[in-house]
Copies of this chain bind each other. A is one copy, B any other.
Amino acid sequence: MLAFDQGFFAGKWVSVARRFGLDVRVEPWDPRRGVAAGAVEDILRADAKAGAEARIRAVLIVHNETSTGVTTDVRAIGEAMRASGHPALLMVDAVSSLAAMELRHDAWGIDVTVSGSQKGLMLPPGLAFVAAGPRALAARASARLPRAYWDWSDQLDFNARGFFPYTPATNLLFGLAEALEMLREEGLAHVFARHRRFAEATRAAVRAWGLETVAVRPEEASSAVTAVLTPEGHDADALRSVALERFEMSLGTGLGPWKGRVFRIGHLGHFNEPMLMGTLSCIEMALAVAGVPHRRGGVRAAMDHLERTLEA
Interface residues of A (CB under 8 A from B): 15-16, 19-21, 116, 118, 124-126, 145-151, 167-172, 246-249, 272-282, 284-285, 288-289, 296, 299-300, 303, 306-307, 310
A306's partner among B172, B249, B285 (CB-CB below 8 A) is B285
User: Quick one: given A146-B145, A307-B288, are A249 and B278 in contact (CB under 8 Å)?
Assistant: no
A282's partner among B249, B273, B296 (CB-CB below 8 A) is B273
Chain B residues closer than 8 Å to A118, beta-carbon distance: 167
User: Which of A19, A246, A275, A299 has the most chain B CB atoms inside 10 A of its CB?
Assistant: A299
Q: A248-B272, A278-B281 are in contact. List 8 more A-B contacts (CB 8 A).
A: A16-B148, A116-B167, A124-B170, A124-B171, A249-B273, A274-B278, A289-B307, A296-B300
Name the CB-closest residue of B to A297: B300
Name the CB-closest residue of B to A311: B246
Copies of this chain in its oligomeric complex: 4
Query: Majority SS of interface residues in chain A?
Result: helix
A204 smallest CB distance to B (angstroms): 13
Please report the C-alpha to C-alpha distance between residue A275 and residue B273 in the assembled complex, in whole angstroms. 11
CB pair A285–B300 under 8 Å, yes or no, is no
CB pair B285–A279 under 8 Å, yes or no, is no
CB pair A310–B281 under 8 Å, yes or no, is no
Please report the C-alpha to C-alpha distance between residue A116 and residue B170 in the assembled complex, in whole angstroms. 14
Chain B residues closer than 8 Å to A288, beta-carbon distance: 307
A124 smallest CB distance to B (angstroms): 4
CB pair A281–B307 under 8 Å, yes or no, is no
CB pair B284–A273 under 8 Å, yes or no, is no
CB pair B273–A285 under 8 Å, yes or no, is yes
A237 smallest CB distance to B (angstroms): 14
Please report the C-alpha to C-alpha distance between residue A124 and residue B124 in the assembled complex, in whole angstroms. 13
CB pair A169–B274 under 8 Å, yes or no, is no
Write 20 A-B pairs (CB below 8 A) sorted by A numbering. Answer: A19-B148, A19-B151, A20-B148, A116-B167, A125-B167, A125-B170, A126-B171, A145-B146, A146-B146, A169-B169, A248-B272, A273-B282, A273-B285, A276-B278, A278-B281, A280-B281, A281-B281, A285-B303, A285-B307, A299-B300
Chain B residues closer than 8 Å to A278, beta-carbon distance: 273-279, 281
A207 smallest CB distance to B (angstroms): 17
CB pair A126–B248 under 8 Å, yes or no, is no
Chain B residues closer than 8 Å to A284, beta-carbon distance: 303
A14 smallest CB distance to B (angstroms): 11
Please report the C-alpha to C-alpha distance between residue A148 and residue B249 in the assembled complex, in whole angstroms. 33
